[in-house]
Amino acid sequence: MGKRARRRSGELAGQRAGELRAPTSTYSDPEAGELELRGSLTPRARAEYAAVLTGGSDREDAWQRAVELLFERLAVAWTIAGVRTDSQRELLGRYRLASATERRFVRESLRTHLAEHFPDVEAP
C-alpha cells in the first residue's frame, strides 16, 4: 500500500494521521431523536459564544443566536427517525427547520452537556 492509499484510508475512517478526536456524549429523546455532542470547545469558540450571549439591545435574538452557535460548534450528529445527519452544514439546516419539541430537546441537551463538560460556560 502506497503513501497516498494509506492517507486515504485514514481519511475515510474519519481521521488524518495524528489527528486527535474529542470524546462525545449522546442524548436521547423518544420524539426528538438522538443528539451526539462533542466534548471539546476551543477558547475562541467560548469567547465568541460569550460575546453573542451578552448581545446588544435585543436579548431574545442574542439568546437564539447563542444557542445556534453552541449547536454548530458542539453537534457531531443528530439521528431523527432513523436518519443520521452528521455533516455540519446539514446539521445546522436541520436545526433551523426543527420543531419546537426538537429545539427544546437540543437546548436541554446543550444545558446538560455544558454542566457536565464545561461548567465555566454559561448555559443558554
pLDDT of 15 reads: 53
pLDDT tens for 58-105 read: 677 888 899 999 999 999 999 999 999 999 999 999 999 999 999 999
Minimal CA–CA distance to 27: which of 69, 76, 64? 76
Q: Which domains does the chain have, with CATH numbers?
A: 22-117 (3.30.2220)
Instruction: Please give the Cα distance from 76 to 35 (Å, whole number).
Output: 8
